[in-house]
Amino acid sequence: MVHLKINNVPVEVAEGSTILEAAKAAGINIPTLCYLKEINEIGACRVCVVEVKGARSLVAACVYPVNEGMEVFTNTEKVRKSRKTTLELLLSDHKKACLSCVRSTNCELQKLSNEYGCDENRFRGARTECEQDHSTGYLVRDNEKCILCRRCVAVCKHVQDVAVIAPARRGFSTHIACAFEADLADAPCVACGQCVAVCPTGALHEREEIDNVRDAINNPEKVVVVAAAPAVRAAIGEEFGYPIGTNTEGKMFTAMRMLGFDKVFDVNFGADLTILEEANELLHRVQEGGTLPMFTSCSPGWIRYIEYYYPELIPNLSSCKSPMQMFGATVKTYWAQKEGIDPKNIYVVGVMPCTAKKFERTREHENASGYPDIDAVLTTRELAKMIKTSGILFNELPDSSFDNPLGEFTGAGVIFGATGGVMEAALRTAAEKITGKPLDNIEFTAVRGVEGIKEASYDLNGVTVKVAVASGLTNAKQLCEKIKKGECDYTFVEVMCCPGGCVNGGGQPIQSAYVRRNVDLRSARAKALYDEDARATIRKSHENQAVLQLYKDFFGEPGSHKAHEILHTSYVDRKHNK
């Protein structure tokens, strides 16, 4: 342990701690902009500077290690003046369109500028001018709002192992770009949106589809169906001041109806449906000698990653569509037939914690009815924005439930939003299919938790099932390399593109770097899903009565020819077929 004083407050912290960490232990917050815990610790922005007794100059608290007897001062006139000047220099080259910015009131630069009483015109002069990049259907880049913190670069490289963006040029001309100044659409980006989630300003944001959805709601010829992914209910409350990890699905359902949606279903239904198809496919591969290990196919960012970086492993992917796409396909085939509605008049909206879902809905072979399975995708943030701009007082709403039949779900369906959840849901069904008897304990806790890679082995009636779970593409890469080299003999592998799974997706409510370094968003949001699973009356996908009725009335059985036509898809080698 190391003993020091911060603003004359005695502090004891572990050796190797930084001044930033020691200050938190003393109850003192030091502002940061470029810092992301364990991801981007580079001391570049100089907003976190402090005075250290005996040091010749101010030091960056986020990277400066403590030492015995050190005396630190975080709030002197010299420190405050330096921070204010740094912020004003950033503002001098910043597109100050705060009133119309998607991040207004939730911008770390804006917050600090207000706190330090900055003059945005103090250093008026030349300003970088860039065209916005609207080349993709899921993301917008506006470098005129970029402050070169490099947080997006770090998460893209170190967390997602993609590294499609990096600083280009030097000096005043420095900016974040793709290789050779290419548009993002021409780069092997996986669309995960993790760069958006960590950006402190409005330099990155999702491609909004709110206007399209409102137009559909206002079109009397359209029957507009909405359904949210499991992870949305665990996070949307944050947009309205609820504590992180609060499940507000009841208020969410009510708000959706008030927005004018004709039917409020749930993608959890699609998750349960996915498990029946996926478990059937896995059993077929095990029994018939198919390609193993089988990879889950629920995460579109993961799918794009394997198509771009490991196309030789495409045969390992389950052919199952994602829960969102299965849900949309079912709405426009089974439900349309049941209700006597022409599928061309049905408009299906998915509310997702993910920006990659905006790309997924445009993929080929995602139009089982002859029309797109999903017509629009709203992120959790976009749904919250619709609710706010409609004057709906979310916090005061009564709880309500989903509509039947495509809203019913089990505990297994809801845990899809957490890393390991798809695996656990699949094991609950596969184990009973293999053993032919009910499980004594349906909780497969070995695959839970936020660790990057988890492994487990289960003996199911003499059949050994070895599984692995990975979240975050750097961890996925490790598994892919082991599988390519024949260093493992997994049966089933779950991969979620985003660290911690969908609860930490690129479309979830944005939390500041301060919150991110003091709260484990992944665990807090996942707990909301596991708590709902624990409360559920039915916790196995193959016991979802609405899904069973769907098979009885329409698909016949999991893996049937009709099910394959509507619920399964194919993939593309993007590495060699550009």
Between CA 444 and CA 429 the distance in angstroms is: 12
Confidence at 462, pLDDT banded by 50, 70, 90: confident
Between CA 34 and CA 45 the distance in angstroms is: 6
Mean pLDDT of 422-434: 93
Confidence at 372, pLDDT banded by 50, 70, 90: very high
- Confidence check: pLDDT of 443 > 70: yes
* Beta-sheet pairing, 453-460 with 463-471: antiparallel
- Confidence check: pLDDT of 578 > 80: no
CATH topology of domain 122-206: Alpha-Beta Plaits (3.30.70)
Mean pLDDT of the residues in the chain: 96
Between CA 11 and CA 24 the distance in angstroms is: 10
HSE (side-chain half, CA atoms, 13 Å) at 268? 34
Q: At what angle do helices 323-330 and 267-288 cross, to 10 degrees?
A: 110
* Beta-sheet pairing, 492-496 with 463-471: parallel
Burial of 290: CB neighbours in 10 Å, binned 0-12, 13-18, 19+: middle
| Per-residue model confidence (pLDDT) at position 8 | 95
- Confidence check: pLDDT of 362 > 80: yes
- CB-based contacts of 455: which residues, under 8 Å, 6+ apart? 466, 467, 468, 469
The alpha carbon of 191 is separated from its chain's Cα centroid by a whole number of angstroms, namely 10
Phi/psi at 397 (nearest 5 deg)? -75, 145
- Confidence check: pLDDT of 46 > 70: yes
DSSP per-residue string spanning 141-198? E-GGG-----HHHHIIIIITS----EEES-GGG-EEE-GGG--GGGTT-----HHHHH
Between CA 508 and CA 502 the distance in angstroms is: 9
For 322-346, what is each residue's pLDDT tens digit? 999 999 999 999 999 999 999 999 9
> Tokens 């100059």 correspond to what residue?
57
Mean pLDDT of 429-446: 91
- CB-based contacts of 418: which residues, under 8 Å, 6+ apart? 231, 448, 500, 501, 502, 503, 522, 525, 526, 529, 530
Between CA 360 and CA 441 the distance in angstroms is: 35
| Per-residue model confidence (pLDDT) at position 435 | 86
| Per-residue model confidence (pLDDT) at position 577 | 84
Mean pLDDT of 355-366: 97
| Per-residue model confidence (pLDDT) at position 413 | 97
Q: Which two tokens stand for residue 397?
A: 């709403």
Q: CB of 126 within 8 A of CB of 17?
A: no
| Per-residue model confidence (pLDDT) at position 433 | 87
Confidence at 483, pLDDT banded by 50, 70, 90: very high
Mean pLDDT of 46-57: 96
Between CA 125 and CA 488 the distance in angstroms is: 59
| Per-residue model confidence (pLDDT) at position 485 | 95
Domains of the chain by residue range? 2-75, 122-206, 211-567
CATH 3.40.1190.20 fits 2-75, yes or no: no
Name 350's bridge partners: 227, 377
Helices (H) and strands (E) counted in the chain, each on its own, are: 20, 17
Mean pLDDT of 233-245: 98
Number of neighbours of residue 398 by Cβ within 10 angstroms:
7
CATH 3.40.50.1780 fits 211-567, yes or no: yes
Mean pLDDT of 493-518: 97
Mean pLDDT of 380-396: 98
Burial of 354: CB neighbours in 10 Å, binned 0-12, 13-18, 19+: buried
Mean pLDDT of 240-265: 98
- Confidence check: pLDDT of 440 > 90: no
For 65-117, what is each residue's pLDDT tens digit? 999 999 999 999 999 999 999 999 999 999 999 999 999 999 999 999 999 99
